[in-house]
Amino acid sequence: MIRKIAGEIIHRHEGEVIVQTGGIGFRIAVPSLSKFPPLGSSVSLWTFLRVREDSLDLFGFLLFEELTLFESMLKVNRLPAKTAMAIIGNCGVQGFRKALAEGDIKSLTSIPGVGKKTAQQLLLELRGQIDFDELPDADEDFSTLDDSTRALIELGYSENIAKQIIRKVREENPELNDNSEIIKLALKKGR
């Protein structure tokens, strides 16, 4: 089983990226391109390999929590992988946990490919498997981030990628304390 792939993004297209590592390009289905860094950037993905009679499909996630949620969703009776990816891409892990905790069928059915029956099936089968005590308040989470990281997130970077870029900038420029300069360097690095 291929569990993690790290390399350079050499192609991006609706719902997939191609990551090149060791001279091999892996086509990987992803939940949402908006969370991924631009072409030419390095990325590290947690992966799930689905083996079928006629295909090998690789699904990739920036966060390990997304991967485990995806695997849990695949155990739901007749839930296609494409639908599970759409849910993660639209809600994220915390949004999905919140919808489950509140029994919010309306927010689940607003996701393309999720009808009322599918939403009810997800609630029924996954509600007991998710630990709601671990559900942080989204506002608390965001407020613990530093200004530089929050700025990148506001510009469309995922939290994970923003943290990685800011950490690299600070490691390479330990004398730098001005947030605006850190953000400028981070944007150059993130291209």
Q: What is the CATH architecture of 4-61?
A: Beta Barrel (2.40)
Q: Where along the chain do its domains lie?
A: 4-61, 64-135, 139-189
Q: Does domain 64-135 have CATH number 1.10.150.20?
A: yes
Q: How confident is the model at residue 24 (pLDDT cuts 50, 70, 90)?
A: very high
Taking alpha carbons only, the member of 16, 79, 87 closest to residue 45 is: 16
Residues shown for the chain? 191
Which architecture, in CATH terms, is 139-189? Orthogonal Bundle (1.10)
Q: Using one digit for the tens of pLDDT, what is the confidence trace for 47-103?
A: 999 999 999 999 999 999 999 999 999 988 888 999 999 999 998 888 898 888 888
- Of 20-24, 102-106, 162-166, 187-191, the one with minimum mean pLDDT is 187-191
Instruction: Name the pTM for this structure.
Output: 0.68
Q: Give the C-alpha separation, 5 to 26, whole Å.
A: 9
Q: Report the 10 Å Cβ neighbour count for 176.
A: 12
